Amino acid sequence: MVKNKNSNIAALNTFKNKAFITKTPQETRNLAKKFASVLKSGDIVFLNGELGSGKTTFTQGITKFFGNKGFARSSSFMIVNEYQAFDNLKLFHLDLYRLNKLSIFDIGIEEYLYSDNISLIEWPQRLIDAQNENHWNIKIENLTNKRRITIEKKK
């Protein structure tokens, strides 16, 4: 049973094409935890932002929403970390930093992306076909003492 199949309209309006300021990692996690309520089966979330901007921190808020106690970590040794989302759905956290430009199919991640699960992708610009995908785009900008986090829905 998918909890929010008809994704929550109020939450959608709160987050779609909006920008937020966070001053601490905890504020970023809290924002991400609230944003996670819009996610549904099959969604792809791109996390854009320079090194250390807060992409993994944002991911931690999302895994927390889905009840995962363990914190998402930077996946230094793995490209994909797997968490439980809804009862029958998984949440995949992919970090493509170490990859050269490749297609989704070259690296065989289509089975994650084109599934009924939810995928969060750090460094999505490593994917040459990324811009064509229907996805949420989270852009994190590192400003003096704060982050500006813009949430857009593409397509």
Q: For CA atoms 36, 38, 44, 49, give the dihedral sign.
A: negative
In the complex with Mg ion, the residue whose CB is nearer, 74 or 150, is 74
Tokens of 22: 């966070």
Sequence-distant (≥ 6) Cβ neighbours of residue 55 within 8 angstroms? 47, 48, 49, 122, 138, 140
Q: Shortest Cβ distance from residue 33 to ligand ATP (Å)?
A: 13
Contact with Mg ion (CB under 5 A) among 22, 36, 37, 55: 55
**Which of 14-22, 66-74, 77-85, 123-131 is the region at the interface with Mg ion (rule: CB under 5 A)?**
66-74
Tokens of 106: 């070259």
Burial 68-86, CB ≥16 within 10 A → b, else e: eeeebebbeeebebebebb
52 binds, among ligand ATP, Mg ion, none (CB under 5 to 8 A by kind): ligand ATP
Q: Shortest Cβ distance from residue 113 to Mg ion (Å)?
A: 19
49 binds, among ligand ATP, Mg ion, none (CB under 5 to 8 A by kind): ligand ATP
**What is the Cα 96 distance to its own chain's centre?**
13
Q: Binding of ligand ATP at residue 67 (CB under 6 A)?
A: no
Interacting residues with ligand ATP (CB under 6 A): 22-25, 27-28, 49, 51-57, 74, 122, 146-147
Residue numbers at the binding site for Mg ion (CB under 5 A): 55-56, 74
